Amino acid sequence: VINSIHQAGGLAGVHVCANTDWSLILDSSTDILSFDAYSFFDRLALYEGRLKRFFDQDRILAWGIVPTSDSKDIETESASSLIAKWDSQVARLAASGIDRARIMVQSLITPSCGMGSLTVKHAQKVLEMTREVSQILRSRHR
């Protein structure tokens, strides 16, 4: 599938809602890895060498830092708390030898997973927090 997308001139992305054997994706030719950074960053971070190679190959990490699976988390989190969480995650990757500037350029901010089962109120809050986190991070790292 990835090769077909590339042959058609597109970027291929993979989303993982939970945990997986991350080497399967990091060693593939996918261009974008979308993952639940809110709940599963620690599992992905175990693959330091593969993540470094992923970034070195100019691929993109879509950080699902805005929670979608627990309504309590949606209600209690804010853009500020999510940015603090993201900053600590980026610091961990940078400490493992991944260039911080590269991380900034090759990152997208997304909801952690799908929102189809959320109430309209919670879905709106998730989208608002996603927009706010993204805007703040972009303004900080220009």
In angstroms, the Cα distances linking 92 to 7, 73, 89 are 35, 23, 5
Q: What is the pLDDT of residues 44-65, one digit of tens each?
A: 999 999 999 999 999 999 999 9
Number of structural domains in the chain: 1
Average pLDDT of the residues in 95-118: 96
Taking 3-state DSSP, the helix, strand and coil percentages for the chain, each rounded to the nearest 5, stand at 55, 15, 30
Q: What is the CATH number of the domain that holds 121?
A: 3.20.20.210
Residue 112 has pLDDT above 90, yes or no: yes
Whole-model pTM above 0.85?
A: yes
User: How long a stretch of residues is the chain?
Assistant: 142
Q: What is the pLDDT of residues 12-30, one digit of tens each?
A: 999 999 999 999 999 999 9
Residue 81 has pLDDT above 90, yes or no: yes
Retrieve residue 71's tokens. 């309504």
Give the C-alpha separation, 133 to 61, whole Å.
16
Which residue segment(s) compose the domain that 66 sits in?
Answer: 2-140
